[in-house]
């Protein structure tokens, strides 16, 4: 069975979304497809089992949190 999950990260601007894409892309090759649309980075993950897709999502979220810290994005500020 093929499992697909889509995760979208929302940023304050398109430049931040592009930086996140470029930062995450080397680690994500062959594991997921990602694209930037306006202020959003959308990642689509494909796998043959739920645990494998969940593990990939977990790794992606952890890596994206590091990108946010480097960009000094504060989710509480509007």
Tokens of residue 54, six digits: 């969940």
Question: Cα(12)–Cα(21) distance, rounded to whole angstroms?
Answer: 14
> What mean pLDDT do residues 33-41 have?
95
C-beta separation of 41 from 33 below 8 A: no
| Mean pLDDT computed over 19-23 | 92
Pick 78 or 60 by higher pLDDT.
60
Asked if CATH classification 3.30.310.50 holds for the domain at 3-71, the reply, yes or no, is: yes
Is pTM beyond 0.85 here?
A: no
pLDDT tens for 40-51 read: 999 999 999 999
Q: Where are the domains of the chain?
A: 3-71
């Amino acid at each position: 069975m093929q499992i697909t999950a889509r995760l979208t990260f929302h940023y304050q601007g398109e430049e931040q979304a592009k930086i996140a894409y470029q930062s995450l892309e080397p680690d994500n090759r062959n594991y997921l497809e990602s694209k930037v649309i306006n202020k959003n980075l959308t990642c689509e993950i494909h796998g043959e089992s739920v645990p494998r897709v969940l593990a990939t999502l977990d790794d992606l979220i952890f890596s994206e949190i590091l990108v946010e810290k480097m960009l000094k994005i504060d989710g509480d500020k509007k």
